[in-house]
Chains A and B, each alone.
Chain A
Amino acid sequence: MNNNLFGYDHQNTWIHRLSGSSKLFFFLLVSIIAMVSYDTRFICLVLVLSLVLLQQSHIKWAQIRLVVKLIVAFSLLNLVMIYIFSPENGVAIYGTKHVIFGSGFYALTQEQLFYEINLALKYFVTVPLALIFLITTNPSEFAASLNRLGVSYRISYSVSLALRYIPDVQNDYQEISRAQQARGYEISKKGKLMARLTGAVHIIMPLIFTSIAKIDTISQAMELRRFGRNKKRSWYMQRPMTKNDDLVWVATIVIVIIGGWFFHIDGSRFFNPFK
């Protein structure tokens, strides 16, 4: 379908019917608190909630398979790297050392295992939230949502323009890069690094200069239709706020308070079961 950069799926669940600004508000605040918190119980709570919402919004495995695979690969790589670089990071955080097996620097400790499990949970917890937002919100609502959350309408419209022109820029790039290949330029592993860099510039240069040349035309077209005339602007695709939206806002604030409350009990960001 159109505008499908983010995999927006036109359906009609209660989540789809929510205003984009409510979903953005929920997604941003909940993912920030879940990222900051290292309390396993709280993160699991948010994870369960987000999996329920994922199911509620009728998202199918096929729609998110690729993203999930990428994030799994990325997480595994990162977790292994952390172990290689700092196998005692968990010990440093939790202040105790319970060795499971092995000895010396790379001995596997309960603390390290627990720390890395927490980290993995944190990598995963925000993904369903982001996917729900992207798949259930029409991209045409993005800009309106940002504006309603207090971002200036000019910046909000920049986002809309970016979404509008990304497909054009992609098409232009394919055409231009192939025409440059025909001339003899290639992005390949062969040749010296400097030659590869300068080769790449010449492939992307026509794209960059023609795109920049468009900026004045587009600005003129927008001015001729009065963009920037008033302090406020309305949005054709903005959904009216409903009772459900109010509930989402309340729920968001409640979740943030719960997250904060866990900080209070733990006395820090970390939940420490070893004490």
Chain B
Amino acid sequence: MNRKHLSIRTVVAIGIGTAIVFLLKRWVSIPSGVPNTNIDTSYGFLGFAAVLFGPIAGLFMGFLGHALTDFTMYGMPWWSWVISTGFVGLGMGVLHNHLGIEDGMFTTKKMVLYNVWQVLINLIAWSLIAPMGDILIYAEPANKVFLQGFVSTITNSLSTGVIGTILLASYAATKLKKGSLRKED
């Protein structure tokens, strides 16, 4: 494979990942219990897929998936938040080489690393990049956008954390070696 270019597998992963982010953003959100606040399941998938396919794939899945959703729903992407979703994909993709999910091991240590990292990434994305973008692009008042950012940090961390962890653990379990299994009577 050529190192300078994206591999075909990455290109396909971005395409399929974008389609899934789109579907989850559009159709699958969970009521959080607080009125008008839903938990967006796409961040759980994005955390998982970025770890699986790396930062570049994560960046583009997040960015394109969010942009396509906004396009089809509102006719217009809300760029500051679209960029933040791309950042979450990028940031979570950094763990690609550190977690080694493909070899079938998702230990407690890796789980803690994943979760500490995801809280940090979500905090930067939603409490910093998104509100700053709103201020810069739309000149919205700071206290409003930072409160919105704070709420999103919580809901998106919940999604990336709970859904992403379960997906990673289940995926790692599918990679188990056959040699380790014995039939029981």
Contact = CB atoms under 8 A, between A and B. Distances in A.
A161 B16 contact: yes
Nearest to B163: A201
A-B interface, 10 closest residue pairs, ranked by CB to CB distance from nearest: A161-B15, A86-B141, A162-B18, A85-B144, A158-B14, A89-B141, A67-B75, A165-B19, A158-B15, A127-B75
Interface string A224-245: 0001100000000000000000
Nearest to B1: A228
Interface in B135-167: 137-144, 147, 158-159, 162-163, 166-167
Interface in A202-237: 203-205, 207-209, 211-212, 214-216, 218-219, 222-223, 227-228
A228 B162 contact: no
A24 B45 CA distance: 29
Contacts of A270: 139
Contacts of B166: 198, 201, 205
B74 A67 contact: yes
A155 B48 CA distance: 21
A128 to B, nearest CB: 8
Contacts of A70: 73-74
Contacts of B71: 6, 130, 134
Contacts of B27: 170, 173
B44 interface: yes
Interface string A147-189: 0000010110111111011101110010000000000000101
A222 B12 contact: yes
Contact of A155 (B23, B49, B60, B65): B60
A211 B16 contact: yes
A82 interface: yes
B117 interface: no
A68 B142 CA distance: 27
Interface residues of B, number: 61
Contact of A208 (B68, B140, B167): B167
A197 B30 contact: yes
B51 to A, nearest CB: 12
Interface in A113-136: 119, 122, 126-127, 130-131, 134
14 contacts: A67-B74, A68-B75, A81-B144, A86-B141, A119-B140, A130-B76, A134-B75, A162-B18, A162-B68, A169-B16, A170-B27, A205-B166, A219-B12, A228-B5
Interface in B22-39: 22-24, 27-28, 30-33, 39
A35 B76 CA distance: 11
B16 A85 contact: no
Choose among B23, B31, B41, B174 the residue with the greatest number of A CB atoms under 10 Å from its CB. B23
A126 B162 contact: no
A221 B64 CA distance: 23
Contacts of B111: none
A194 interface: yes
Interface in B85-99: none
A74 interface: yes
